[in-house]
Amino acid sequence: MKIVITATGLTQEDFVRSGCNEAISSSPRHWISDYLGALNGRMADATGEDDEQTVKVCRVLYALLASRPQWETRRTPAEETDHLETYEFDETVFSFLAQVLTQISDDETRGRAADLLYQRSIDTRGRRDIDAARIAIRSYLLEASRHQTYRLHWTPAFKRIERSLGIANEIRDAALKQEIIAHIESTIFPQIQPDGVPSLETLAANIKIDILSRYPIVLMDLMFRSKEGTPDRYGPLAEQYAYGMRQGQHRELEREYLEIASKYYRRARNRERELTTRERSADSSIEEAKNFVARNPTLPHLYIIAEDRLMDAIRALKTANGIAKEYGFLQDESRLEERIDKVRRQHLDYQQRGMAAFVPSYKSNAYDAGPMLARFEGISKLDAISTLAAVPLRSKDDFEQIVGEMVTRDPMFSHFGPVVREHNGHIAAQTKDTTANSITWPWVCSVAVESYEDEFNEYLGPIIDHTIRNHAIIIDDVASVVQGSYFIPDGRALFFIKGLLAGFRYDVSMAVHLLAPQIEHASRIAIRNLISSDIHLTKAHGQMLSDPEAPSLPQALQEPAYAEMLSSVLGEEIVFTLRVILVERFGGNLRHRAMHGLATDGELNGPLCWYFWFVVLKICCMTIPSPDKATNE
């Protein structure tokens, strides 16, 4: 039985011819589904070879139409249908599919079927079907031409062109490769002089697609990656597009075109033009940052986007400066270094303004250490230590309230997602989870870190400095504190004594390296003791108790069950503070950064490390003995 394949896969005549008289849906894709269902019911009665082959080919075509194509899943049609074992991908199927391939009138279906044949149909000599590869290429190009006529449909068109070029490279068909390149160039090259400076209207009138899409950018990048685009043509072309975008005030697109141009100039070793395009790209990023802030200076998320653009500008200027140093452009070198410093200052200004707009509630509350310092006059060493440890911590509710106010103030917050600045000023990656809690929690951590640093600089720092300078704390004083703490495990007191004493001697980096591992071990012991004392908890965590390294510090502080146990020992404020400082990626992440050598000298001697040292001192002072008892001991 000969079948005629159309855009729907099969015509209605095929259903009648196959004896499928059941009601058929009007949807073309449902025709195939119903047809397969009817044929599957008749498989036991099928006696002719044509019937079996028809079923197999229909299954293949249905799999191609029903599954997502490789440009959406980044997988090949062969990989898409690997899980469809019932479709019996054998040589008879491929042979029959090859016969009807040219009868498929739909470019989409024909291209995907030919691509499948090319990848999966291998003869006895191990060769692939080159004819099917050529059909797939031409079908993909036709389908790309149909998609690129729509402004928002350039992504499928690009994926088909990218796949076509990949197949052409695999089969080493120079003629088809040139055909694909000609298709690309006819799409993106405007009919204007290479040295002209086109306007947005000129570009729009001379190319086949909407220039405000990124289709020309990705095509130029594809030509660059495939080493097919000549720099003397594509470099000026990208600059022409950039000029048009600049006239239309589309700074982001201008920057992307200039980056493409600089890539081509670098390949051509035209360092002077590369330097110029890199610097112009930085100019576009700076202008884009200013435009974001100018929209509404009270919205914090706009400052974060602006900071990201300024970081792009700094990277571009650094690259240009490297070119100037390498090739002896001395005037450019000094000028670029000045520009880099200027952009860095602007980046810092945006950081400060963004955080001021983000959390004005705690920025406006100035800390006054004067009244607290007066309490340290004329008291003993142990009283000074206990008075220092009595400084209260802020709770998680305080920071959640600040973030709640920000959500109310900035309507874009819910759309902006959990892309927040880490405490070191870098833009953190976006998390996959988009629930409300995952969106607000990184902001809570970021606000808490900023608050801890401000509190130390304006309040705790002067108090600690006053204590160290006016009370000569020695090892015996610290030992009196540590020996009275029930949280410190047996055999670990000396580590805590040395860590706290290092802080009293201004060596906070040493204190962090001594105390962070001991806090992890002490937290683990406290949780295990609570589990062992409760028969129900022991049954639930029996396997965990057999592991001497469980739970880890991230587990102890982040998992609700363990955090609740630890809070019953230390209190919620201390557990929250340790979590933000030690293990949260959007917080200090001090445990990871310090223990893996990632923290700089500035970080290890900075306010956050001092705040951690203060929290450990607070833990050790929770059961501090009275001065009389300590003296007697």
Which stretch of DSSP H or E encloses residue 352? helix 330-358
Q: Tokens 């209207």 — which residue?
A: 201
Short-list 476, 479, 467, CA closest to 504? 467
DSSP bridge pairs for 421: 427
Q: How far is the C-alpha of 571 from the C-alpha of 492, rounded, in Å? A: 21
Spacing of C-alpha 483 from chain mean position: 46
CA–CA dist 418, 482 (Å, integer): 40
pLDDT for 608 equals: 92
Q: What per-residue confidence (pLDDT) applies to 496?
A: 93
Per DSSP, the three-state class of 625 is coil
Q: Specify whether the CB–CB gap between 297 and 344 falls below 8 A.
A: no
For the beta carbon of residue 494, count every other beta carbon within 10 angstroms: 12
Q: Distance (Å, rounded) from C-alpha 273 to C-alpha 261?
A: 9
Q: Which residues contact 18 (CB under 8 A, 6 or more apart)?
A: 1, 35, 38, 39, 42, 51, 54
Amino acid at 626: S
All residue ranges of the chain with pLDDT < 70 are 1-93, 96, 121-126, 149-153, 191-198, 200, 204-211, 300-301, 355-367, 406-407, 409-439, 534-547, 623-633
Give the 3-state secondary structure of residue 65: helix
Distance in angstroms (rounded) separating the CA atoms of residues 85 and 93: 13
What residues have CB less than 8 Å from 552, skipping those under 6 apart?
Answer: 520, 524
* Residue 614: count of CB within 10 angstroms of its CB: 24
Phi-psi region of 494 (alpha: psi -120 to 50; beta: other; left: phi over 0): alpha
Q: What's the chain's Rg over C-alpha atoms?
A: 34
Q: What is the pLDDT of residue 500?
A: 93
Confidence at residue 151, expressed as pLDDT on a 0 to 100 scale: 55
Structure tokens given for 458: 């304006």
Rounded distance, CA 261 to CA 240, Å? 10
Give the helix/strand (H/E) hosting 261: helix 251-267
Task: Report helix, strand or coil for 122.
Answer: strand
Give the pLDDT of residue 432.
Answer: 40
- The residue with tokens 């009868």 is 103
Please count the other Cβ atoms lying within 10 Å of the Cβ belonging to residue 631.
11
77-88 residue pLDDT tens: 444 444 343 344
What is the Cβ-side half-sphere exposure of residue 482, based on CA atoms within 13 angstroms? 24
Q: Report pTM.
A: 0.53
Contacts of 237 (CB under 8 A, 6+ apart): 188, 189, 194, 220
DSSP state of 343: H
Distance CA 62, CA 112 (A): 11
How far is Cα of residue 255 from the mean position of the Cα atoms in its chain?
21
Burial of 373 (0-12, 13-18, 19+ CB in 10 A): middle
Token code pair at residue 296: 């509404």
SS3 128: strand
**Beta bridge partners of residue 128, listed in sequence order:** 122
- Give the per-residue pLDDT at 511: 93
Q: What's the token pair of residue 117?
A: 């044949």
Nearest to 307 by CA among 428, 410, 449: 428
What's the gap between Cα 601 and its chain centre? 27
Task: Return the number of other C-beta atoms located less than 10 Å from residue 200's C-beta.
Answer: 18
Q: Residue holding tokens 């072309």?
A: 237
Q: How many CA atoms lie within 13 A of 603 on its CB side?
A: 20
